[in-house]
């Protein structure tokens, strides 16, 4: 019954099922980090809008200083000094020099700056220059930082905190970004209770909705929770149809028994299409991938660790397509503390704890959630690897 595909195939399928969200919104600078540019962002003016000194010193014609040296200074006539924060409202003529602060406006006519330490005022209206200046030396020219009409950020760029700096410099106070994807989410399983329910024999709390919601937030998506659907085909179909109509993507977290995933697949094929049933990963095999109309739908395994790894390995690529940009990876290189033998034919995901640069595997029985809480991250072992030896270098993906 299971049409099992590899993790790589599942990830490509997931990425291709989704489409970038079409709606945009306008945000101010502090709200931008993590968001994705909806269009190219172009500078409307030169930055700086004037030629600027990068040193405390003297604005000069470079040609006037050629040949200047410690034993052969050039004598230039001092003009008014350039004042910090004010335009240099005069022209510098050949044979003249103007005191200028770092960041000061280079007077018209000047084309270089001689730093303070290579110059000496004589107290009688002249300054001696002890070092030749090349044209443009210690000068940021108009538009050198950002040129008018230059593309600051391409459409699809995910802004970081430092992106904000360039926007502020260019006087850009707001940007259009893609709306955060909305991800509909619900649980099924006759044994599943809300977190607020008291513990009881045979019952399990709805861990997955909370786990996935938290992961979705981190991925820049907005989870929309539709509750725990009663364990009947009709109820699941109704919830799925509603969620698919109101969201960019839908995640169902199934119960733990094998029959649950078959139920998900049955409902999905009735309302839309099942594209894969089973992914060659451990944990995470009982995963269903499909769509209802244009909306990608994933049936996630009930076990929390499996649910988590399917989200990072299979759902995440679909979210990246929706978001319009890749999500940043957080990787730490470490050495495995002990031998680990893996199953052939399935990509394996192993929780690890980091101690310095050692990655210590955390094992957990099937369905156990606490292994996740003790882990700093996980490693991914390709399905054609027979295992890893103690001391092997591994890339730990941080949670």
Using CB under 8 A, which residues numbered 74 to 93 contact a second copy?
82-88
Out of 9, 144, 241, 262, name the contact with a second copy by CB under 8 A. 144
Phi-psi region of 156 (alpha: psi -120 to 50; beta: other; left: phi over 0): left
- List the interface residues with a second copy, window 24-83 (CB under 8 A): 29-30, 32-33, 45-50, 52, 54, 56, 82-83
Residue 227 binds a second copy, judged by CB under 8 A: no
Residue 124: CB minimum distance to a second copy, A: 25
Which CB atom, from 123 or from 202, has the smaller least distance to a second copy? 202
User: Residue 168 belongs to what H/E stretch?
Assistant: helix 163-169
Residue 302 binds a second copy, judged by CB under 8 A: yes
- List the interface residues with a second copy, window 104-123 (CB under 8 A): 104-105
Which phi and psi (to 5°) does residue 285 adopt? -55, -50
Residue 104: CB minimum distance to a second copy, A: 7
What is the Cα 93 distance to its own chain's centre?
A: 51
Applying CB under 8 A, the site for a second copy has a residue count of 95
Q: Cα–Cα distance between 141 and 279 in angstroms, integer?
A: 57
Do 196 and 238 form a contact (C-beta atoms < 8 A)? Answer: no
Which CB atom, from 208 or from 291, has the smaller least distance to a second copy? 208
Do 379 and 333 form a contact (C-beta atoms < 8 A)? Answer: no
Which CB atom, from 211 or from 244, has the smaller least distance to a second copy? 211
Do 333 and 380 form a contact (C-beta atoms < 8 A)? Answer: no
CA angle 282/284/288 to nearest 5° reads 140
Q: Which residue in this structure is represented by tokens 């001391």?
A: 391
Q: Cα–Cα distance between 245 and 265 in angstroms, integer?
A: 18
Residue 204 binds a second copy, judged by CB under 8 A: yes
DSSP state of 232: S
Residue 258 binds a second copy, judged by CB under 8 A: yes
Which CB atom, from 125 or from 201, has the smaller least distance to a second copy? 201
- List the interface residues with a second copy, window 264-293 (CB under 8 A): none
At residue 207, the 3 state secondary structure works out as helix
- List the interface residues with a second copy, window 361-380 (CB under 8 A): 364-370, 372-373, 375
Residue 272: CB minimum distance to a second copy, A: 27
Q: Cα–Cα distance between 389 and 371 in angstroms, integer?
A: 21
Which CB atom, from 67 or from 202, has the smaller least distance to a second copy? 202
Residue 215: CB minimum distance to a second copy, A: 4
Which CB atom, from 66 or from 217, has the smaller least distance to a second copy? 217
The candidate with the shortest Cα–Cα distance to 221, out of 191, 251, 189, is: 251
Which CB atom, from 47 or from 292, has the smaller least distance to a second copy? 47
Residue 274: CB minimum distance to a second copy, A: 22
Beta bridge partners of 355: 358
Residue 28: CB minimum distance to a second copy, A: 10
List the structure tokens of 127: 């300054």
Which CB atom, from 257 or from 337, has the smaller least distance to a second copy? 257
């Amino acid at each position: 019954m299971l049409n099992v595909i590899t993790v790589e195939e599942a990830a490509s399928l997931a990425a291709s099922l989704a489409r970038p969200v079409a709606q945009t919104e306008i945000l101010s600078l502090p709200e931008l980090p993590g968001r994705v540019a909806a269009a190219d962002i172009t500078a409307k003016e030169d930055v700086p809008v004037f030629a600027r000194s990068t040193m405390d010193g003297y604005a000069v014609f470079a040609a006037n200083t050629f040949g200047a040296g410690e034993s052969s200074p050039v004598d230039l006539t001092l003009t008014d000094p350039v004042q910090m924060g004010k335009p240099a409202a005069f022209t510098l003529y050949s044979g003249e020099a103007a005191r200028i602060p770092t960041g000061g406006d280079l007077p018209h006519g000047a084309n270089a700056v001689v730093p303070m330490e290579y110059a000496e005022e004589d107290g009688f209206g002249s300054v001696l220059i002890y070092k030749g200046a090349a044209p443009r030396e210690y000068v940021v020219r108009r538009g050198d930082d950002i040129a008018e009409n230059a593309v600051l950020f391409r459409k699809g760029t995910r802004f970081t905190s430092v992106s904000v700096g360039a926007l502020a410099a260019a006087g850009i106070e707001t940007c259009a970004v893609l709306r955060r994807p909305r991800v509909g989410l619900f649980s099924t399983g006759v044994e599943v209770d809300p977190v607020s329910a008291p513990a009881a024999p045979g019952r399990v709390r709805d861990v997955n909705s909370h786990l996935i919601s938290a992961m979705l937030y981190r991925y820049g998506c907005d989870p929309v929770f539709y509750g725990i659907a009663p364990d009947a085909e009709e109820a699941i179909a109704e919830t799925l149809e509603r969620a698919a109509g109101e969201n960019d993507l839908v995640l169902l977290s199934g119960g733990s028994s094998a029959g649950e995933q078959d139920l998900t697949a049955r409902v999905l094929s009735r309302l839309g299409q099942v594209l894969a049933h089973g992914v060659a990963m451990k944990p995470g095999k009982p995963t269903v991938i499909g769509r209802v109309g244009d909306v990608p739908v994933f049936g996630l395994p009930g076990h929390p660790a499996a649910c988590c790894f399917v989200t990072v390995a299979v759902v995440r690529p679909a979210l990246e397509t929706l978001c319009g940009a890749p999500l940043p990876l957080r990787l730490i290189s470490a050495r495995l503390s002990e031998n680990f033998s893996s199953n052939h034919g399935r990509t394996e995901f192993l929780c690890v704890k980091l101690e310095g640069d050692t990655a210590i595997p955390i094992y957990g029985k099937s369905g156990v959630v606490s292994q996740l809480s003790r882990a700093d991250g996980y490693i991914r072992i390709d399905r054609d690897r027979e295992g890893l030896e103690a001391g092997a270098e591994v890339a730990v993906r941080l949670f």
